[in-house]
Amino acid sequence: METKELNELFEHIKHELGNPPIKLLRRIDWDKKFPELGDVIGKCSRKTKEIVVKVGLSQDKITVILYHEILHLLFPTRPHWWVERASFVLSKSELPNPGRYTKRYNKQDVEIESRSEIIRLTKLASKRLNIHLK
């Protein structure tokens, strides 16, 4: 995925989730600030409200990762398995689910909120984050 496409996808997702004050960094810029990233495919910084995704992945994977990292910032106390499940719900991904944390914590059969409810919750969380950062 090209940088322009990635930025457009990120902005589209942010808009859908209530425009949280979160920035997408290029991997080279992330590595300068946070050299410990290693080989992970996505990461967020709660301190700076920035995220990064690994380039060279399919658009479907990148979409899931963008939702995933944004959800970590909007819902820092939610368990990782919920963030993982919600990111698949939001992205409407065709990728195999459940993911690693869903399996690890045996949450495959746990119902989570609908896509519309998760979006409603993200908009409230985005509003709180916007107010908090002013």
Neighbouring C-alpha atoms within 13 Å toward the C-beta of 87: 31
Per-residue confidence (pLDDT) for residue 111, from 0 to 100: 85
90 strand-pairing partners? none
Overall residue count recorded for the chain in this entry: 134
pLDDT value of residue 86: 94
Residue 20 has φ and ψ, to the nearest 5°, of -65, 150
Provide the 3-class DSSP secondary structure of residue 45: strand
β-sheet bridge partners, residue 42: 53
Q: 3-132 belongs to which homologous superfamily?
A: Metalloproteases ("zincins"), catalytic domain (3.30.2010.10)
Q: Per the confidence metrics, is the pTM higher than 0.75? A: yes
For residue 109, the SS3 value is coil
The H or E element spanning position 86 is helix 80-91
Q: What is the pLDDT of residue 97?
A: 66
Which amino acid is it at 131? I
C-beta of residue 121 within 8 angstroms of C-beta of residue 19? no
The most distant pair of C-alpha atoms in the chain lies apart, rounded to whole Å, by: 41
How many whole angstroms separate alpha carbon 126 and alpha carbon 63? 19
Provide the pLDDT for residue 37: 64
Cα 96 from Cα 92, distance rounded (Å)? 11
Predicted confidence pLDDT, tens digits, the chain (134 residues): 788 999 999 999 999 999 999 999 887 787 777 777 677 888 898 999 999 988 788 999 999 999 999 999 999 999 999 999 999 999 998 777 678 888 888 888 888 999 999 999 999 999 998 776 65
CA pair distance 78, 12, nearest whole angstrom: 23
